[in-house]
Amino acid sequence: MSALRIGVCGNGTVGGGTIELLRDQASLLASRAGRPLALTRVGARRDRDDCPLGDVPVHRDLLEVAQAEDVDVLVECIGGTELARDLVETALRSGKSVVTANKALIAEHGNALLALAEECGQSLLCEAAVAGGIPILKALRDGMAANTVTEVSGIINGTGNFILTEMGAHQRSFDDVLAEAQALGYAEADPTFDVEGVDAAHKLSILAAMAFSTPLNFSGVFCEGISAVTPADIQFADELGYRIKHLGIAKAHADGVELRVHPTLLPKDALLANVDGVLNAVRLEGHAAGETVYSGAGAGRLPTASAVVADIVDLARAGAEPVHCLGVPVKALKALPTLPMEAVSSAWYLRLQAEDRPGVMSQLASCLGAEGISIEALIQKPPKAAAATVPVVVLTNTAREDALRRAVAAISALPGITEPHCIRIESLD
């Protein structure tokens, strides 16, 4: 059978890994794909020693790759959303399918791009865009096809998980660990996407669209990152029997969907509490399969390239038949209302600084009590000599977000209380 001809744009972490796998696994891939996978073009700014290309032609103008006659599948690994969008549109309009690792592109422009792919009779796949090497989109699209999926939740940013793990296990500073994540190729070109939760929100919007057969809704995702989590929070959580993880959570309810990414306290014995370093883990709840959990490397050269190449193999197997990225044609997607965060309930970790004098704690308890929130656990550290305030940590029972916000506003207004900081607690039962 004739080879499937591939043009890879971007020869960095993911593009370089993809080129390496296509070369080193060529014979295995040919047998699994049912035809050879041939790298025919590369688009790159510069040649790289860690990405030898032999006699494959290299283009500085990436749009040439998207239009080349000897390319059947364009692989987009350049990142960003402007040129990447242009590149993907050009490839689709030129009769090529596209594989991309770019979650920002799919989250922000996926609805239009998937519609264009269908219009052009082509496929647009993005397994590498979510949870790196974990074949989570395949699991959702294919393995869970018989299920009404009610929940997708998990650790979906490798850089953030690496930072929280290293801060907790080795008391390293946030900036030091972030610099290592960048050196290891885990972080986004703009690492604020990792630490402010944007990357996880991109990924959650893709997971939710596939799980609930809805259009992509990135702007509907509530987004909080890990930059406000302090070493003291990690230490207090540990004392109370919890670990802090950054989670993405998408839940389907009768009246709409809940879409949120934020740091979360998880009981130490929860499965996801023990997923460390660059590992990701995604938990699916299906009405027939029940709970299934998938774990593996969420970022990095070969794990991510593994997902890119898996998509290429799917395209080789599908032949002329387009593969629907979200499992159904775009016209079959149905928008669902996004539930406001105010209506979401969770238990809470509340840390603040309080003056060490009688009455402060009872006022704090009254503010919570006035909103029907009770205290489940409390830590108050003894004052350090000369310190005007002491740190206080409170764990609450389950409360609606709007009630908690009102209580925290009242607590903040109390004399002698400063710096309140809240983190949600999930049990993931």
Ligand X SMILES: N[C@@H](CC=O)C(=O)O
Ligand Y SMILES: NC(=O)C1=CN([C@@H]2O[C@H](COP(=O)(O)OP(=O)(O)OC[C@H]3O[C@@H](n4cnc5c(N)ncnc54)[C@H](O)[C@@H]3O)[C@@H](O)[C@H]2O)C=CC1
Question: How many CB atoms are located within 10 Å of the residue 397 CB?
Answer: 14
Q: Are 13 and 278 in contact (CB under 8 A)?
A: no
| 16 annotated to a ligand binding site | yes
Which of these is catalytic: 96, 203, 245, 251?
Answer: 203
Q: Are 42 and 56 in contact (CB under 8 A)?
A: yes
Binder of residue 157, out of Na ion, ligand Y, ligand X, none (CB less than 5 to 8 A by kind): ligand X
Each residue 90-129 as x (binds ligand Y by CB under 6 A) or -, in order, gives -----------xxx------------------------xx
Binder of residue 194, out of ligand X, Na ion, ligand Y, none (CB less than 5 to 8 A by kind): ligand X
Binder of residue 89, out of Na ion, ligand X, ligand Y, none (CB less than 5 to 8 A by kind): none
Q: Are 128 and 302 in contact (CB under 8 A)?
A: no
Q: Applying CB under 6 A, which residues contact ligand X? A: 132, 157-159, 186-188, 194, 199, 298-299
Among 108, 127, 151, 224, binds Na ion (CB under 5 A): 127
Task: Determine, following the binding rule CB under 6 A, whether residue 348 of this chain makes contact with ligand Y.
Answer: no
Sequence-ordered strand ranges (E) for 156-237: 222-223
Q: Cβ 388 to ligand X, closest distance in Å?
A: 39
Q: Name residue 277's amino acid.
A: G
Binder of residue 127, out of ligand X, Na ion, ligand Y, none (CB less than 5 to 8 A by kind): Na ion
Among 4, 6, 7, 10, binds ligand Y (CB under 6 A): 10
Where does 240-344 have alpha helices with state H? 301-318
Strand pairing report for 37-43 and 124-125: unpaired
Task: Give the residue with the Cβ less far from Na ion, 204 or 411.
Answer: 204
**Cα distance between residue 421 and residue 108, in whole Å:** 30
**Cα distance between residue 92 and residue 86, in whole Å:** 10
Please work out the total of residues on this chain that contact ligand Y, with binding judged by CB under 6 A. 27
Say which residues have a Cβ less than 8 Å from residue 202's Cβ, sequence separation at least 6: 103, 104, 106, 107, 108, 129, 193, 218
Catalytic, 384? Answer no
| Largest CA-CA distance found in the chain, in angstroms, rounded | 82
Give phi and psi for 295, each to the nearest 5: -135, 150
Residues involved in catalysis: 203
Q: What residue ranges bind ligand Y (CB under 6 A)?
A: 10-15, 43-45, 62, 77-79, 83, 101-103, 128-129, 132, 185-186, 188-189, 299-300, 304
Query: Which residues are annotated binding-site positions for NADPH?
Result: 103
| Residues flagged as binding site for L-homoserine | 188
Binding residues: 9-16, 103, 188
